[in-house]
């Protein structure tokens, strides 16, 4: 690897690290605003992005043990954040989904970030945005895999 390329890779690693830290701090602030732990907040993010999930799916997505997910769902349900609903295809299963009112209450916390990212995207060509999208997908998969290696999942 050339020294110029090595420098670019180091800049990506450092930039990713900075973004990760700022993202964790942002999500911590949102969690605190909503009276949630960081993990509770991130599990609700899975539900917000992916829709209703079974507890087993949430365990697989998060890397948390099934017993930990059950306790987390109980806490979120107690706080009025999520509801358990019968699975439409298998009555033996339940789906966990975000309470519609809670989703609406959380949306304004994201307004500035979403607006600012949309504005930042205006500076890039479609081709550059496609490259960023590919990189984010790769980085997400690598991070998920790395989490699994640590948690043995």
Q: Where are the domains of the chain?
A: 3-122
Q: What is the enclosing helix (H) or strand (E) of 83? A: strand 82-86
Per-residue pLDDT band for 97 (boundaries 50, 70, 90) equals very high
The phi and psi torsions of 82 (rounded to 5 degrees) equal -125, 160
pLDDT digit string, tens, across residues 78-94: 999 999 999 998 888 99
C-alpha–C-alpha distance, residues 148 and 153, integer Å? 5
pLDDT digit string, tens, across residues 16-43: 999 999 998 998 998 998 889 989 998 9
Q: Calculate the CA 39 to chain-centre distance.
A: 10
What CATH number does domain 3-122 carry, 3.90.550.10, 3.30.300.10, 3.90.1150.10, 1.10.10.10?
A: 1.10.10.10
At 126, list the tokens. Answer: 């479609």
Query: In this structure, are residues 66 and 55 in contact, taking their beta carbons and an 8 Å threshold?
Result: yes
Among the ranges given (7-21, 90-104, 133-147), the one the predictor scored with the smallest mean pLDDT: 90-104
Give the SS3 label for residue 93. Answer: coil
Put residue 17 in one of left, alpha, beta given phi > 0 → left and psi -120 to 50 → alpha: alpha
C-alpha–C-alpha distance, residues 153 and 145, integer Å? 9
pLDDT confidence of residue 153: 57
């Amino acid at each position: 690897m050339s020294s110029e390329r090595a420098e670019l890779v180091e800049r990506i690693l450092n930039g990713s690290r900075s973004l990760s830290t700022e993202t964790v701090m942002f999500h911590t602030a949102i969690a605190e605003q909503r009276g949630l732990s960081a993990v509770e907040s991130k599990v609700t993010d899975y539900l917000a992005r992916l829709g209703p999930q079974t507890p087993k799916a949430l365990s697989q997505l998060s890397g948390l043990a099934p017993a930990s997910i059950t306790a987390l769902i109980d806490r979120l349900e107690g706080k009025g954040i999520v509801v358990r609903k019968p699975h439409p295809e298998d009555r033996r299963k339940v789906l966990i989904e975000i309470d519609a009112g809670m989703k609406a209450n959380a949306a304004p916390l994201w307004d500035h970030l979403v607006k600012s990212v949309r504005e930042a995207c205006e500076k890039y060509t479609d081709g550059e945005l496609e490259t960023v999208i590919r990189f984010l997908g790769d980085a997400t998969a690598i991070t998920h895999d790395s989490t699994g290696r640590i948690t043995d999942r």
